[in-house]
Structure 1
Amino acid sequence: MFYRKNLPGWERAARVIGGTAMVACGLLGFQGLPIGYLIGAAGGVTLMTGFFGFCPMCAMAGRRLPLS
């Protein structure tokens, strides 16, 4: 199934940077703690939405990119 991108380029870049920071902080800052794994997992989801340019929650809210 193919999804239409619903994130602009600047937000995709911000999500990739933020997701990477969350994974690093979660797995390195809270080593071995459940909260660290939780932060790392949330960062992984944020990172993937940035890579793919599609956010399921934004789609549920009806967010779309303008056609160009």
Structure 2
Amino acid sequence: MFFLQRNLPAWERAFRLGGALLLACAGLLWLPAGWPVALALGSALAMGLTGVIGFCPACALVGRKPAAKGKP
């Protein structure tokens, strides 16, 4: 089974979910149609998924340690 250890604390996960929602709304409301909207929605999707899963591959690449259990 594929297992990923969470490397994002709870507060950062909440900020990522909120940021993803704001980015998706901004992309749909203020950007011109075409590739800017697709880029904004793709970025929002990636940010939202890392917030939900709690694992960020880019953070793992730079050596971020797993989040401590029991701490928010």
Say whether the fold is shared (TM-score over 0.5): yes
Structure-1 separation of matches of 2:38 and 2:30: 10
The correspondence of residues 1-68 of structure 1 with structure 2, limited to 5 A, is 1-30=2-31, 32-64=33-65, 65-66=67-68
Structure 1 distance, partners of 2:43, 2:68, is: 28
Stretches (4+) displaced over 4 A: none
Q: Which has the higher contact order (CA 8 A, sep 6+)?
A: 2
Q: TM-score, normalised by structure 1?
A: 0.87
Aligned residues: 68
> For the aligned residues, what is the CA RMSD?
1.4
What runs of 5+ residues in structure 1 fail to find an aligned partner? none
| 3-state SS of 2:58 partner | helix
The alignment-based identity, stated in percent, is 35
Return the TM-score normalized by structure 2: 0.83
